[in-house]
């Protein structure tokens, strides 16, 4: 049963990953904060982030170089101001984490800096080799839970935003124990719900990542942007009976490389950076090699790293591979691309404000334009940290309304479609390579799905409703962008078009626009 609150919280934070926790810490001095987690407080995309967190800390590095690499990966669509905020805030954000107890890996007394794809310098900090997200989340949770005004509610799925006179006044929460939806009101709401990767059949995302924040914001009438840009990580474990476990890009940064069914290193044929090319390039190259050789996967050869380095630097990856019957120190590991990260989401300014008064967003659910058309590796944890803090600061500046205005959720039914059918449609038609025919067909199929009304609400139905909305929005935005750019590749429009060097925007009030 959901905990009953003696009074209305001042601030509601939906999501207990890095963005949500960092915002809660910032909000703690301004009022009562309620952090709502869909599952346990440990189940978020942050927990699974292996690669690390980027910051220009090396003697040969600078925030300008970090910005250049971010902009290059974004393929012409990064918001330069957002990028400047991100890279300039990084050193101080890392120092703050260390002050709060984060234990990053070191070489002697100095922070160890690794390199990943599309980075021109070694600037990636790691924790316990490949458990960086977990360490940052642990640090932030310990800090947040030490603050008496921050409260937590786990196993509570937020299903809708509450609206009064066009302003967000709270959230509806599905209580699994009582099978009822319960309203919780607050001065402001922050969406920090993470990603949407579970709408795809193969994904590195946790089961909770069903696009809930994007879908709830859409239903409430918020502006969304850049939803066509979904990044596929090139190297997810591809073994029968094993999950699509992420094999960090840091492996290739340390010397691992991809080979095809013929045992050939193929990436030098596709890009000057070879195995360290941007993720969209590597993912498409893998798909091309699989098609050319008739293989269901390619292989990541980690043998050049040696067993000692694998054990020390990548302990989770090493042990996971062993658990599923492959020894990465002695044999190449089968890999296949998997849906990984959403560059788009709820459109915000640089302080997390959305187009709806009272609603903020930060982390993967938000679209600040910082990632452009393709996220630079290890910028996501940094984005959650930096923009989570900025959103918290902006929220605490809101004046208290002094009233407990009761809002209502938008009315909607539940689509009569199975989750697996949605995942199939997304994977086959909105995946690494797309065509206008596939995208238009997907929109048509989803728009014909009938709605169930008057049924007993439960979490699974809310998740299917969210997934249906997200796949439809991805297809609509991808259909409207008649070019190929970054993580969005149209086989029928294979080149960049200067007319589309703009961000897509869509809401209930208007179709897809570019601005």
Secondary element (H or E) of residue 440: helix 436-447
Known catalytic residue at 303: no
- Specify whether the CB–CB gap between 442 and 139 falls below 8 A: no
Helices (H), 250-359: 250-253, 279-293, 306-313, 315-323
Largest CA distance in the chain: 69
d(CA 101, CA 97): 6
Residues with Cβ within 8 Å of residue 12, at least 6 apart in sequence: 34, 36, 170, 171, 184, 186, 188, 189, 190
Listed in sequence order, the residues at least 6 apart from 127 whose beta carbon sits closer than 8 Å to its beta carbon are: 52, 102, 103, 104, 105, 134, 135, 136
Q: Which of 362, 336, 376, 323 is nearest to 121 (CA)?
A: 376
d(CA 319, CA 335): 16
List 138, 279, 284, 485, catalytic entry:
279
Tokens describing residue 35: 């952090």
Enumerate residues 6+ apart whose C-beta is below 8 A from 67. Answer: 80, 83, 84, 87
Q: Who contacts 343 (Cβ-Cβ below 8 Å, separation ≥6)?
A: 226, 229, 230, 231, 367, 371, 372, 373, 374, 375, 486, 487
Separation between Cα atoms, residue 405 and residue 425, nearest integer Å: 40
CA distance 143 to 28: 11
The 3-state DSSP class for residue 112 equals coil
Query: Catalytic residues, which ones?
Result: 279
């Amino acid at each position: 049963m959901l905990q009953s609150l003696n009074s209305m919280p001042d601030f509601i934070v939906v999501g207990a990953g890095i963005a949500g926790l960092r915002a809660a810490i910032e909000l703690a001095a301004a009022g009562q904060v309620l952090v709502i987690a869909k599952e346990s407080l440990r189940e978020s995309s942050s927990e699974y982030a292996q690669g690390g967190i980027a910051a220009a800390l090396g003697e040969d590095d600078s925030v300008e170089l970090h910005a250049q690499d971010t902009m290059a990966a974004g393929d012409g669509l990064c918001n330069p101001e957002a990028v400047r905020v991100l890279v300039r805030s990084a050193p101080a954000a890392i120092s703050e984490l260390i002050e709060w107890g984060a234990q990053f890996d070191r070489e002697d007394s100095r922070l160890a800096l690794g390199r990943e794809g599309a980075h021109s310098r070694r600037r990636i900090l790691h924790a316990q080799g490949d458990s960086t997200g977990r360490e940052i989340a642990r640090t932030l949770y310990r800090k947040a839970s030490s603050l008496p005004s921050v409260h937590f509610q786990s196993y509570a799925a937020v299903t809708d935003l509450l609206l009064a006179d066009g302003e967000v006044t709270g959230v509806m929460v599905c209580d699994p124990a009582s099978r009822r939806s319960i309203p919780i009101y607050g001065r402001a709401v922050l969406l920090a719900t993470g990603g949407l990767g579970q709408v795809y059949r193969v994904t590195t995302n946790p089961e909770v990542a069903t696009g809930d924040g994007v879908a709830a914001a859409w239903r409430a009438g918020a502006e969304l942007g850049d939803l066509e840009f979904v990044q596929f990580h090139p190297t997810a474990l591809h073994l029968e009976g094993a999950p699509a476990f992420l094999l960090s890009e840091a492996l290739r940064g340390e010397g691992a490389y991809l080979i095809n069914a013929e045992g050939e290193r193929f990436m030098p044929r596709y890009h000057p950076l070879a195995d360290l090319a941007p993720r969209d390039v590597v993912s498409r190259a893998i798909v091309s090699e699989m098609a050319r050789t008739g293989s269901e996967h390619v292989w990541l050869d980690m043998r050049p790293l040696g067993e000692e380095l694998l054990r020390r630097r990548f302990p989770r990856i090493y042990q996971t591979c062993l658990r599923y019957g492959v020894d990465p120190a002695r044999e190449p590991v089968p890999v296949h691309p998997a849906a990984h990260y959403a560059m788009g989401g709820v459109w915000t300014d640089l302080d997390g404000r959305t187009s709806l008064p009272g609603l903020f967003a930060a982390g993967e659910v938000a679209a600040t334009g910082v990632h452009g058309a393709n996220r630079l590796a290890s910028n996501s944890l940094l984005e959650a940290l930096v923009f989570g803090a900025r959103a918290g600061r902006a929220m605490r500046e809101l004046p208290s309304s002094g009233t407990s205005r009761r809002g209502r959720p938008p009315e909607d039914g539940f689509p009569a479609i199975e989750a697996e059918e949605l995942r199939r449609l997304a994977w086959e038609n909105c995946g690494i390579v797309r065509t206008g025919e596939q995208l238009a067909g997907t929109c048509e199929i989803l728009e014909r799905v009938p709605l169930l009304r008057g049924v007993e609400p439960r979490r699974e139905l809310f998740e299917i409703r969210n997934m249906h909305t997200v796949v439809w929005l991805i297809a609509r935005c991808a259909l409207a962008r008649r070019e190929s750019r970054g993580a969005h590749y149209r086989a029928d429009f294979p080149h960049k078009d200067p007319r589309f060097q703009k961000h897509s925007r869509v809401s209930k009030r208007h179709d897809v626009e570019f601005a």
